[in-house]
């Protein structure tokens, strides 16, 4: 917020309210008027400002001004090509995104119950960095001719403000979201309870073979069990006797057979379906 309101990026064109195609001599006259320097009579501007004015005399450097900002053009003395300016300009936003990642990590540190949001926050920063780099390097920039309206967007300044706004909104949004306890967000926290429940269920399954024998000793329970199993057997025969059901089950990987072998030989052998084989193995393992 401080960088947006107090120290926005320097821009000689927006500060002086002049179009991007203003000649260098005209810019010198305006600067001399505001600063009181008579550069026609030996007066001189500061070194970095002289370097900026010298570079603005070239059309290509004005497009670089829009892409990379005034600070890059007036401080990088050794830069002469696009690649050199780009490598110099990437340092400031790269450092800003690293700082933003540190802030996101601090907001989602262990114990805040927002650990699951760390990946989302860092992913948003990486996506924003890639989008900014792609846009600033590929956006077409057209410097208007004299007399044409000055509708050039200072992309460096716009993306600078958007970047700072992201650094404010992202940590604040993560902080305002409801945290989830570690026991809810981490499945490994409930793994011991799950193992205990499965062991208890397995023990109860082992008791089935003993309870069935006990049921058969009581006449009332034996009659009820026989009636229930008789009904289940009848329903099972209906299902297994339906050829359409058998074909659909086999196609879905739940065949219950038995059916003739796939080779169609006259051996008379029958194959058990996958579902029946699995059920038999489960019963034998009890």
Domain assignments of the chain as residue spans, ordered by start: 2-185, 187-284
Average pLDDT rounded to a whole number, residues 233-252: 79
- In this predicted structure, the answer to whether residue 286 has a pLDDT above a threshold of 60 is no
Burial of 79 (0-12, 13-18, 19+ CB in 10 A): buried
- CA atoms lying within 13 Å on the CB side of residue 11: 24
| Residue 158 and residue 136 in contact, taking contact as beta carbons nearer than 8 Å | no
How many whole angstroms separate alpha carbon 58 and alpha carbon 139?
Answer: 19
* Chain segment 59-80, per-residue pLDDT in tens: 888 889 999 988 999 888 888 8
Per-residue pLDDT reduced to its tens digit, 111-124:
777 778 888 889 99
pLDDT at 265 over 70: no
**Token pair 């460096």 in the structure block, residue:** 156
Per-residue pLDDT of 24-45, as tens digits, reads: 888 888 888 877 666 666 667 7
Highest mean pLDDT among 90-94, 194-198, 281-285: 90-94
Which residues pair with residue 244 across a beta bridge? Answer: none
Count CA atoms within 13 Å of residue 226 on its CB side: 8
Looking at residue 87, what is its pLDDT? 92
Per DSSP, the three-state class of 235 is helix
- Min mean pLDDT across 41-50, 140-149, 263-272 is at 263-272
Furthest CA-CA distance within the chain: 124
């Amino acid at each position: 917020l401080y960088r947006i309101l107090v120290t926005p990026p320097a821009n000689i064109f927006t500060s002086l309210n002049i179009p991007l195609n203003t000649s260098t001599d005209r810019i010198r006259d305006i600067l001399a008027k505001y600063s009181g320097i008579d550069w026609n009579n030996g007066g001189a501007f500061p070194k970095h400002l002289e370097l900026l004015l010298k570079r603005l005399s070239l059309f290509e450097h004005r497009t670089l001004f829009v892409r990379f900002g005034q600070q890059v053009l007036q401080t990088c003395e050794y830069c002469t090509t696009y690649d050199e300016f780009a490598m110099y300009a990437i340092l400031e936003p790269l450092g800003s995104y690293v700082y933003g990642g540190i802030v996101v990590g601090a907001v989602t540190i262990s114990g805040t119950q927002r650990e699951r949001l760390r990946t989302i926050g860092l992913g948003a920063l990486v996506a924003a960095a890639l989008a900014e780099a792609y846009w600033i390097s590929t956006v077409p920039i057209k410097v208007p001719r004299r007399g044409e309206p000055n509708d050039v967007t200072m992309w460096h300044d716009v993306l600078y403000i958007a970047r700072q706004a992201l650094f404010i909104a992202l940590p604040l949004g993560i902080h305002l979201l409801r945290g989830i306890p570690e026991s809810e967000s981490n499945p490994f926290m409930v793994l011991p309870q799950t193992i205990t429940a499965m062991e208890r269920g397995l023990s109860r399954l082992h008791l089935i073979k003993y309870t069935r024998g006990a049921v058969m000793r009581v006449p009332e329970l034996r009659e009820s069990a026989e009636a229930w199993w008789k009904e289940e057997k009848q329903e099972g025969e209906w299902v297994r006797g339906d050829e359409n059901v058998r074909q659909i089950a086999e196609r879905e990987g739940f065949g219950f057979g038995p059916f003739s072998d796939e080779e169609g030989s006259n051996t008379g052998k029958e194959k058990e379906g996958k579902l029946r084989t699995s059920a038999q193995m489960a019963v034998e393992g009890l």
